Amino acid sequence: MSSMQESRVQVAIRVDKLSIAAPAFNEAEGIVSVVQGWIDYLSDLETMSDYEIVICNDGSKDQTGALLDALSASNPRVRPVHHAKNQGAAAALSHAIKSTRNPWVLLIDSDGQYGIETVPKLIAKLDEEPSRKAVMGVRVQKHDSSFARFGSWISGRLCNTFHGTHYRDFNCALKLVDGDVLRSLNLEAKGLNYSGEISSKLIERGIVLAEVDVEHRPRASGRSSAQNLRTAWHRLLFVMYIGVRQFLIRQQVLQISQTSQ
């Protein structure tokens, strides 16, 4: 029996209904192969009784939206939602999250950098503690530009300092989270700061995120938008906002919302 077959056999029953939530912007070159890979893997996972794939097409200028609609027409488990105009990756992911319906939600990028084969490892980590609500990946080797890696490292260090935590990859986009908890978060970011914000908002709720080493692959196609100075400036501003927010919460100036707004 291959290692992949063994991983499929060992998946626990706790997560048998899964929603995937992902943003997509100008991913026409690779979106069909990525989503079809998700479909093939999850359909073959014996303990997965139900799954859905919710992708928000964030005002793409290429054929991303049309390709997602075609996938949905051939497989109703694919449920695209669309923004007429680009609103930013975080806004797109938030829309996708709010549109999910299953008890557990997998957050994953649509560019193919995270393999769907990681799902059994994430589920197994959840099963180590029955009360666990969230697990996130740790990219053991990041296939991003040096500029993007540095930005992720420094912002993660700052966010850990603000929260008094020691997560190894605070900004990893790959997360498996209790659906009710995730859908109740009031997410505020618009651009590429959603990964750190979700980690931060879960920590605010008192949720401890378990960590699992995961493979981070080079982009299968397309180009990342996380490499320009404007994006870096926005990341710095947002990290500073997280710091101020944590200070105000500790001073009891802000309260932590328990429901979505």
Name the residue ranges covered by the structural domains of the chain: 3-250
Distance CA 175, CA 136 (A): 4
The reported pLDDT for the residue numbered 217 is 80
Query: Nearest 5°: phi and psi at 134?
Result: -155, 145
- Mean pLDDT for 196-213 is 96
Calculate the alpha carbon distances from 141 to 4, 12, 189, 209 in Å.
21, 27, 26, 20
Q: Lowest mean pLDDT: which of 19-23, 110-114, 221-225?
A: 221-225
The reported pLDDT for the residue numbered 224 is 52
Strand partners, 261: none
pTM score? 0.88
Q: What is the pLDDT of residues 31-87, one digit of tens each?
A: 999 999 999 999 999 889 999 999 999 999 999 999 999 999 999 999 999 999 999
Q: Could you tell me if 106 and 21 are in contact, meaning their C-beta atoms sit under 8 angstroms apart?
A: yes
CA torsion 94→95→97→101, rounded to 10°? Answer: 160
User: Does pLDDT of 94 surpass 60?
Assistant: yes
How many beta carbons lie within 10 A of that of residue 18, not counting itself? 23
Orientation angle between helical segments 229-250 and 194-204, nearest 10 degrees: 10
- Mean pLDDT for 132-155 is 80
Q: What is the pLDDT of residues 146-196, one digit of tens each?
A: 666 677 789 999 999 999 999 999 999 999 999 999 999 999 988 788 999
How many beta carbons lie within 10 A of that of residue 60, not counting itself? 21
For 3-250, CATH number out of 3.40.50.720, 3.90.550.10, 3.40.190.10, 3.50.50.60 equals 3.90.550.10
* Mean pLDDT over each residue of the chain, to the nearest integer: 88
What token pair was written down for 143?
A: 């296939």
